[in-house]
Amino acid sequence: LVPAPGSCSWFLPRSPHSLHDPRIVSLQLSVKMAGRVHRITLFKVPKAEDQQKLIEQYKAVDATNQKDGKPYILSLAAGRAEDDPRSQGFTVVCKTEFASLADLKYYDDECQAHQNLKAFAKTLTVEGIQTVYFTPQVVGGAAP
């Protein structure tokens, strides 16, 4: 890392070799991901067919999310929770990532794709929902 000229930020100098150096690529990904806001939503949906319908609706959210005419959800992953006592009855999980808290707030309050998902979920048997969000303070692993 070297200081960027005339600023308080740092950057990685590029060389032909740095494009393929996994240490540099990993550091670049870690820096990008650390600033993102991660949102995790857990659903208690007892019926398997309702679980699949909810997951299908997340496909629609991914395909249609828009803010200022462009998709803005940086990452979306949804699926069934593994059958495990630690799941505490939660059966469907969705993890989304946003560039900012403002984007997350837009998702919660204004995004038409998310509004459609919430309306659809009300037609299913849902026994509970838990949502948390955070900005990572630690990013690591083999492929952050």
CA–CA separation, 27 vs 102, rounded Å?
25
* Confidence (pLDDT) at 83: 94
* Confidence (pLDDT) at 143: 80
The domain made up of 36-134 has a fold known as Alpha-Beta Plaits (3.30.70)
SS (H, E, C) 1-18: CEECCCCCCEECCCCCCH
**For the chain, how far is it from start to end, CA to CA, in angstroms?**
19
* Confidence (pLDDT) at 7: 42
Both tokens of 143, joined, read: 């492929």
State the Cα angle at 8 between 18 and 144, rounded to 5°: 45
* pLDDT averaged per 10 residues, the chain (length 144): 46 51 48 79 99 98 98 99 97 99 98 98 98 94 80
* Confidence (pLDDT) at 17: 53
Q: Where are the domains of the chain?
A: 1-34, 36-134
The type of residue at 59 is K
